[in-house]
Amino acid sequence: MSLKYIHVVFIAAATALSVVFGTWCWAQWETAGGMGMLLGAGGSAAAAVGLLAYGRWFLVKTRGMGE
């Protein structure tokens, strides 16, 4: 397995973790309230979008570089 694929797997795992954490923060905010949980949900959503954009950029940049 090349370093490129390890990097892609890491980006995918980080994106998934961000989505799960954001969903958990949102659920906690709905039940207990609190600005911290709402900020955590928003920050996690922003991180997930950023990671998706970075992952797409990385794949386009490394297309054709060593399989």
pTM here is 0.85
Range of the domain at 54: 3-61
pLDDT in tens, 3-58: 889 999 999 999 999 999 999 999 999 999 889 999 999 999 999 999 999 999 99
Burial status of residue 30 (CB atoms within 10 A of its CB: 0-12, 13-18, 19 or more): exposed
Tally of domains in the chain: 1
Flag whether 18 is in a domain.
Answer: yes
Residue 1: band (very low, low, confident or very high) from pLDDT cuts 50, 70, 90: confident
Flag whether 66 is in a domain.
Answer: no
Flag whether 57 is in a domain.
Answer: yes
With contact defined as beta carbons under 8 Å apart, do 21 and 36 qualify? no
Flag whether 67 is in a domain.
Answer: no
